[in-house]
Amino acid sequence: MAWETVIGLEVHVQLLTRSKMFCGCANKFGAPPNTLVCPVCLGLPGALPVPNEQAIRLATQAARALGCTVHTRSIFARKNYFYPDLPKGYQISQFDQPLATGGTIWCESPERGRIGIGVTRLHLEEDAGKSLHDRIPGKTAIDLNRAGTPLVEIVSEPDLRSPAEARAYLTILKQILVYAEVSDCNMEEGSLRVDANISIRRPGDPKLGTKAEVKNMNSFANVERALIVERDRQVALLESGGRVEQVTMLFNAASGTVKPMRSKEESHDYRYFPDPDLPPLVLTQKWIEEQHAALPELPEPKRERFMTRYAITAYDAGVLASERPVADYFEAIVEAGAEAKSAANWVMGEAMSGYNETGRFGVGADRLAKLIGLVKEGVVSLQAAKRVYPELVDRDDDPRAVAERLGLLQVGDAAALGAWVEEVLAANPSEVDRFRGGEAKLMGFFVGQVMKKSGGKADPKAVQPVLVEKLKN
Amino acid sequence: MSIGRKDVLHVAKLAELAVSEDELPKLTEQLGRIVDYVAQLNEVPAGEQAPPYLAGPDKVTLRPDVVAPVPLARPPADFAPEFAQGLFVVPRLGAMEDQ
Amino acid sequence: MSAVELIASAVREGRTTAAVAANEVASRLEKTAALNASLNWSAERLEAEAARVDRASPSDRAKMPLAGVPIAVKDNIVTTEQPTTCGSRILEGYVSPFNATVINRLRAAGAVIACKANLDEFAMGSSTEHSAFGRVKHPDDPSRVPGGSSGGSAALVAAGAVPAALGSETGGSVRQPASFCGIVGIKPSYGRVSRYGLVAFGSSLDAVSTFGRSVDDAARVLAAMSGHDPLDATTIAQPPLVLDPPRRDLKGLTFGLPAEYFPRDLHKGVRAGLDRAIKAVKELGGTIKEVSLPHTRYAVPTYYIIAPAEAAANLARYDGVRYGQRRVGPAGDLRALYQATRGQGFGAEVRRRILIGTYVLSSGYYDAYYRKAQQVRALLAEDFRRAFDAGCDMLLTPTTPTPAFKAGEKTEDPVAMYLADIFVCPVNLAGLPAVSVPVGRSEGLPLGAQLIAPNLAEARMLSAAAALEAALDAAAEVR
């Protein structure tokens, strides 16, 4: 390829606190407009910010989960600009002394394999409100419920080399942050937002090309799409002898295109200076270590542990470790006595489809372990167990009792099996003749027919001797 | 003079302050005098390393994560210049719209 | 007994009621209306305020340190019962939906909010000529200014309309008018009193401060509202200020005289007033010590970088979107709204400071101005620390370089106006407590002397100020 793509990402993530960053208003989505507001987040004259301890804690945990150094001293700064959803005329952020710097996110590049992407910095700030342009004809309407929501901004190094890598990076970043319970990273509700910087250059060129910023992507897939479109635009531009301007491009998901923002990007002069309302944020190393220690096991180490401890494949371990509730559920089933491989199959099969629909597991780990045990002990067949499973969802019934009620307990009793076998033989005279004529492989067909006849109840191991016996005559 | 008409118009734009042509000469002259006056600080040899001086506490005290907003004695609708459907209303943003 | 304690003790003991005191204040506010010092008050509201105190149970009332004491409040401290305008068109008619912490605390202490007091717009000025609601007149000479920016509060106390008042300081805005008006003004340590509800000007400098006709009056009001506030991250984790018992002498105390505050060309009356104070200190058994604060001359330029920079950001919220006056510009779009609202809503001095503050923070100038000013600020604070470390319990200086000047004298020359704060603004930059006490008069105009104390040493500073006050006849002409 004649061009190398260089991408860096700026990701804004809302933190899962009860209250806002600098005031006691509730931090929640979906309330009627301007009902979660107070003097502080309305920017009323005389109001003052006081930082939320939990936001600091979550940001510290996020930073450590991304391998960053968390600084014992950081400074809140005012970023000055006018916008109607920015109540104070400045955003409280961090500038030259951020909370954390220097981390790495490891992810799987489709082109380059395992890559470490540098995290330049992670800093704390407050969210702005929302400007609604379609609510009142000819006007802009402002909802300040979101104003003051705690955010961390995570800035990557320009280490990504393709739109697909950008997507892989985001997927892992989200996995880690959700794991750490720092954020729900819900892009639809705006709790994770991505701005991308992209430029192209000739491979081997040490200098970066002029970059464009791409905004307004509402899913990771769209980040990838937008970056492809923008990369192709830049390539076409340069190859036709043009020049890339430093612009901000807005992605339109409906048309799959990017277009430059209408407003001229004047060189932004945010006039950052330390916020005099907020003395330095001073953390002790001990406190930082305590927050790190309180982090749950993160996806990467968990995946590795699953592979070694449970002897499951890298793929299975990856799927099971991708989300904490899934991993926890899997381990609880194993804990309750089920064999790991069967547990993995059940979780990735039946259980996962329910989880994907409802966001939770409808069958308790102990009962699923019991069901798995019934299969292992030969009490029910795997086929029968899969018929038992739906009956267990959102109920407390014992798996064995359900199997019994449904008449799915395996039948190994020769008399009962004999009746099904005779019915099967009677219904398939030509196969019987062929078997007797030496086509031994038809045994499988007869076992299957008996299983079918029995509605899965027949114990396949016991069926064969009965068949052998009856076919002799 | 350290500050000219162009500088005044530039900072007026940053500060979103309308400055009329009539007042510009006098304002430029006054601001120039102030800037020249405060520029005398440059004669002070100051240690570059010194952290900025802080009156008051040397570190910020944090707030527990509790939902407890200071209540409003009057709702936003009472003090907003324009308010409809629970929302503050402003004219179209024009060029600022797609930010 | 001080005026504050006279009223409070009488109300506590049931010898009079808050309503009687409020009534008296209403008639005095009427009589002093020509000063243009009071804003937004009414007899009805005063009555309602007083009724809260009178309705309280006698046992509750007995615990109120300021029971029934009427207090004027500078109109940059937010109250829910009347407008808070900051002396600005941009906030004309704005009624805050919450009360400042100091208001809640004063009310809990039994105080009656008498009226709001006129001020320089957003507390920016040294003469109270920069109010959208007209200039405040000096009570002794209407052709002169009362000082500023808390000139309305100072004039009301000096004229006897109220026994005490709240002002605010960013660069001397209480001590300077106290000196001009012949009353006491106390600026507490930065962080001693909550700023929650004080409309921000220079956040790292701002301090709610008090006026009284005696040290005791101003100190009692200060003590009642002091102490840590969880709503202000810059308040110090300290319980409310406890005042020292009055002292008769100054034995064992050393008063530093910083050479830089006594230039050879100091106004003769001011110099004579200070000589009188120095003599009194010695007579009371105090020790005088010459000291030097070498960076003093850089205080005003430092102040006029830091304060406007912070102000430019603090005043960005007045954009006509959520509250206050909105003006729609000719283009009809949002940017036009911003520029018209702010361009027409702010007065000349406020606009100058916003522009200066924006300039010193803007790209390419930050290091030369803002960062440099922060460094010099540290040097100024270090000057004070050295003087205290050298054995000074407090410093004694003039409060102002001259007595009250004529209205209009400095309005066209901002730098000349700024220099009126040359002796008061270093204290704000260092965050220290200070008090101005009257020391006499020169050609009929009051003069003040200033005591500056180490951080959080208000109690000792105020007891010394009271001893000095008792030894001086503030009404007498100095020679």
Nearest in space to C288 (alpha carbons), one of C394, C365, C359, C439: C394
The rounded distance, in Å, linking the Cα atoms of C256 and C245 is: 23
Which of C:335-374 have CB within 8 Å of B? Answer: 335-340, 342-344, 346, 351-352, 354-356, 358-360, 362, 368-369, 372-374
pLDDT tens digits, residue range A352-370?
989 999 989 999 999 999 9
User: What's chain A's length in residues?
Assistant: 473
Nearest in space to C30 (alpha carbons), one of C20, C42, C15: C42
Q: Taking CB atoms and an 8 Å limit, are B65 and A40 in contact across chains? A: no
- Interface predicted TM-score (ipTM) over 0.85: yes
Considering chain A, what percentage of its residues have pLDDT values greater than 70? 98
The rounded distance, in Å, linking the Cα atoms of C112 and C45 is: 10
Q: Which residues of A touch B14 (CB under 8 A)?
A: 80, 269, 271
Q: Which residues of B touch A279 (CB under 8 A)?
A: 54, 56-60
Q: Å from B25 to nearest chain C CA?
A: 13
Q: Are C235 and A88 in contact (CB under 8 A)?
A: no
Q: Look up residue C367 and give its DSSP letter.
A: I
Query: Is the torsion defined by CA of C106, C107, C112, C118 positive or negative?
Result: positive
Q: Taking CB atoms and an 8 Å limit, are B54 and A279 in contact across chains? A: yes
Spell out where A81-231 has E strands: 90-94, 100-109, 113-126, 130-132, 139-143, 150-156, 192-201, 212-215
Q: Å from C181 to nearest chain B CA?
A: 28
What residues have CB less than 8 Å from A448, skipping those under 6 apart?
none
Catalytic residue chosen out of the listed positions C2, C173, C436, C463: C173
Q: Which of C233, C321, C338 sits opposite A142 (nearest CB)?
A: C321
> What pLDDT is stored for residue B46 in this prediction?
67
Q: Which of B31, B38, B82 sits opposite C352 (nearest CB)?
A: B31
- Cα-Cα end-to-end distance for chain A: 73
Q: Based on the residue annotation, tell me whether C173 is a catalytic residue of this protein.
A: yes
Does B45 reach chain A within 8 Å, measured CB to CB?
A: no
For residue A452, the one-letter residue type is K
Q: Taking CB atoms and an 8 Å limit, are B93 and A133 in contact across chains? A: yes
Segment A209-215 mean pLDDT: 94
The answer to whether residue A31 scores a pLDDT higher than 90 is: yes
The rounded distance, in Å, linking the Cα atoms of C85 and C82 is: 10
Percentages (nearest 5) of helix, strand, coil residues in chain B: 35, 10, 55
CA distances from A413 to A418, C402, C457 (A): 8, 116, 96
Q: Based on the residue annotation, tell me whether C149 is a catalytic residue of this protein.
A: yes
The rounded distance, in Å, linking the Cα atoms of C474 and B28 is: 44
pLDDT tens digits, residue range A250-295?
999 999 999 998 655 455 799 999 999 999 999 999 999 999 999 9
> What pLDDT is stored for residue C107 in this prediction?
98
pTM for the full predicted model = 0.92
Helix (H, G, I), strand (E, B) or coil at C454: coil
Nearest in space to C329 (alpha carbons), one of C310, C308, C344, C351: C344
Q: Are C129 and C149 in contact (CB under 8 A)?
A: no
Q: Taking CB atoms and an 8 Å limit, are C362 and B41 in contact across chains? A: no
Q: Which residues of A touch C317 (CB under 8 A)?
A: 43, 45, 87-89
Catalytic residue chosen out of the listed positions C74, C116, C137, C410: C74
Does B25 reach chain A within 8 Å, measured CB to CB?
A: no
Sheet holding C254-258: strands in order across?
A: C38-39, C112-117, C70-74, C164-169, C207-212, C184-187, C434-442, C445-452, C394-398, C254-258, C287-291
pLDDT averaged per 10 residues, chain C (length 479): 95 97 97 97 96 96 97 98 97 97 98 98 97 98 97 98 98 98 98 98 98 98 98 96 94 98 95 97 98 96 97 98 92 92 96 97 93 94 97 98 96 87 97 98 96 98 97 90
The answer to whether residue A471 scores a pLDDT higher than 90 is: no
The phi, psi pair for B40, rounded to 5°, reads -60, -15
pLDDT tens digits, residue range A298-355?
999 999 999 999 999 999 999 999 999 999 999 999 999 999 999 999 999 999 989 9
Torsion of CA C286, C289, C295, C301, to 10 degrees: 40
Q: Are C202 and C373 in contact (CB under 8 A)?
A: no
Residue whose entry in the numeric block shows the structure tokens 């933190």: A15
The rounded distance, in Å, linking the Cα atoms of A379 and A363 is: 19
Q: Taking CB atoms and an 8 Å limit, are C339 and B17 in contact across chains? A: yes
> Using 50, 70 and 90 to split pLDDT, how confident is the model at B99?
very low
The rounded distance, in Å, linking the Cα atoms of A15 and A34 is: 20
Q: Taking CB atoms and an 8 Å limit, are B91 and A83 in contact across chains? A: no
pLDDT tens digits, residue range B75-85?
999 999 999 99
The answer to whether residue B96 scores a pLDDT higher than 60 is: no
Segment A29-45 mean pLDDT: 97
> What pLDDT is stored for residue A411 in this prediction?
78
The phi, psi pair for B14, rounded to 5°, reads -60, -35
Segment A364-390 mean pLDDT: 91
CA distances from C347 to A352, B33, C116, C456 (A): 66, 19, 20, 36
Taking CA–CA distances from C205, the nearest residue in chain A reads: A276
The rounded distance, in Å, linking the Cα atoms of C352 and C91 is: 18
Q: Which of C90, C322, C367 to mutate to test the interface with A (most CBs of A within 10 A)?
A: C322
Q: Which of B11, B74, B95 sits opposite C97 (nearest CB)?
A: B74
CA distances from C228 to C186, C211, C433, C460 (A): 18, 21, 16, 20
Catalytic residue chosen out of the listed positions C2, C88, C126, C149: C149
Residue whose entry in the numeric block shows the structure tokens 């002394």: A97
Q: Which residues of B touch A82 (CB under 8 A)?
A: 16
Q: Which of A38, A53, A140 sits opposite B64 (nearest CB)?
A: A53
Take residue A42 and report the two structure tokens written for it: 């309305």
Q: Look up residue A149 and give its DSSP letter.
A: -
Q: Based on the residue annotation, tell me whether C362 is a catalytic residue of this protein.
A: no
Beta partners for residue C207, in sequence order = C169
> What pLDDT is stored for residue A265 in this prediction?
47
- Where do the H-state alpha helices sit in C284-424? 299-314, 334-345, 348-361, 372-389, 414-418
Does B1 reach chain C within 8 Å, measured CB to CB?
A: no
Beta partners for residue C290, in sequence order = C257
- Where do the H-state alpha helices sit in A190-323? 220-239, 285-293, 299-310, 314-321
Q: At what angle do helices C3-12 and C18-31 cross, to 10 degrees?
A: 150
Considering chain A, what percentage of its residues have pLDDT values greater than 90? 79
The answer to whether residue A112 scores a pLDDT higher than 80 is: yes
Q: Å from A197 to nearest chain C CA?
A: 23
In this structure, the number of other CB atoms found within 10 A of the CB of residue A139 comes to: 18
Q: Which of C301, C358, C381 sits opposite B53 (nearest CB)?
A: C381
H or E element, residue A176 = helix A163-179
Q: Taking CB atoms and an 8 Å limit, are B60 and C302 in contact across chains? A: no
Query: Is the torsion defined by CA of C341, C347, C350, C356 positive or negative?
Result: positive
Q: Which of B31, B42, B71 sits opposite C368 (nearest CB)?
A: B42
Q: Å from A149 to nearest chain C CA?
A: 18
Q: Which residues of B touch C205 (CB under 8 A)?
A: 55
The rounded distance, in Å, linking the Cα atoms of C260 and C291 is: 9
Take residue C114 and report the two structure tokens written for it: 């008498």
